[in-house]
Amino acid sequence: AKRLEGKTIVVTGASSGIGKSTAMEFARTSPKSLKLILTARRIDTLKQVAEQIEKEFGSGVQVLPVKLDISKPSEVKGFVNSLPAEFKEIDVLVNNAGLVKGTAKAPDILEEDIEVMMATNVTGLINMTQAIMPIFKKREDGGRGDIINIGSIAGREGYPGGSIYCATKAAVRTFTDALRRELIATRIRVMEVDPGQVETEFSVVRFYGDKAKADAVYAGCEPLTPDDIAEVVVFNAGRRENVVVADTLIFPNHQAGTGGAVYKK
């Protein structure tokens, strides 16, 4: 906890689910002194998250909500420059924003769904990483800072009806692995956290807002909560500088893989 004190932390996709829980967990761990930059498209929801954090943890945690669509390269390019000076010295980037759309199988997958998943989960994550890295690289010993990418079990095993989403998360995994190798001579830590099933707005987004269909995904099983993942993200960020929790896979008890590998009562 002491190790995170005074840090400036960016969480993408902090308006909901794992990102929101991660922001809350960082605040809980370091309430005395922390700067949180929370980003997503829904600025009103982000402002509510910021208010909730300030109310629960007090003025030691400074929260800056920023409206940012990571699928738009121009918005990502302007992001760092738009930050007030006291929020510019970023220490930790949590690349969490991401989504799945639909359950269609090839050749019936909607072009717009393919595009939004690729532009957000892959290009958006890469662009965010490239936008922040110059801040890390200016520091001593070739650079310092943490990059924590949220992948998925879906990046390790494909499943029918999830091919594009799985491909995006496989891309995250390979990008993360290559980046860690590129930064081997620096103090920059590159980490991946891969959740299994977590109940968030993820499935509501997948089914284009159909809550009943989303609920059916979790019927008869007990998914993880976003707090379960947040605890791991914050634990990883809080390790001693020479410790890199490079890769984490987290399942609920009933799960041992994607799709068919979920046990239902």
* Residues with a known catalytic role: 165, 169
Look up residue 203 and give its amino acid: S
Lookup result for tokens 């496989």: 170
Of the residues 29, 123, 200, 236, which one makes contact with ligand NDP according to CB under 6 A: 200
CB of 207 to ligand 8X3, least distance (A): 13
150 binds ligand NDP (CB under 6 A): yes
| Structural tokens at position 36 | 């949180």
CA–CA gap between residue 245 and residue 92 (Å, rounded): 14
Partner touching 126 among ligand NDP, ligand 8X3, none, CB below 5 to 8 Å by kind: none
Look up residue 237 and give its amino acid: A
**What count of Cα atoms within 13 Å lies in the side-chain half-sphere of residue 202?**
24
Strands (E), the chain: 8-12, 34-40, 61-67, 92-95, 144-150, 187-195, 247-250
> Judged by CB, which is closer to ligand NDP: 101, or 180?
101
197 binds ligand 8X3 (CB under 6 A): yes
196 binds ligand 8X3 (CB under 6 A): yes
229 binds ligand 8X3 (CB under 6 A): no
What backbone torsions phi and psi does residue 102 show, to the nearest 5 degrees? 80, 170
227 binds ligand NDP (CB under 6 A): no
> Judged by CB, which is closer to ligand 8X3: 218, or 235?
218
Q: What is the DSSP string of 204-226?
A: HHHTTT-HHHHHHHHTTS-PBPH
Of the residues 152, 176, 236, 255, which one makes contact with ligand NDP according to CB under 6 A: 152
Q: Which residues in the 111-140 window bind ligand NDP by CB under 6 A?
A: 120, 124
Partner touching 120 among ligand NDP, ligand 8X3, none, CB below 5 to 8 Å by kind: ligand NDP
Of the residues 53, 94, 126, 154, which one makes contact with ligand 8X3 according to CB under 6 A: 154
- Asked whether the beta carbons of 150 and 195 are under 8 A apart, the reply is yes
198 binds ligand NDP (CB under 6 A): yes
Comparing CA positions, the residue from 187, 81, 183, 184 lying closest to residue 139 is 187
Residues that bind ligand NDP (CB under 6 A): 12-19, 40-42, 45, 68-71, 96-99, 120, 124, 150, 152, 195, 197-198, 200-202, 205, 226
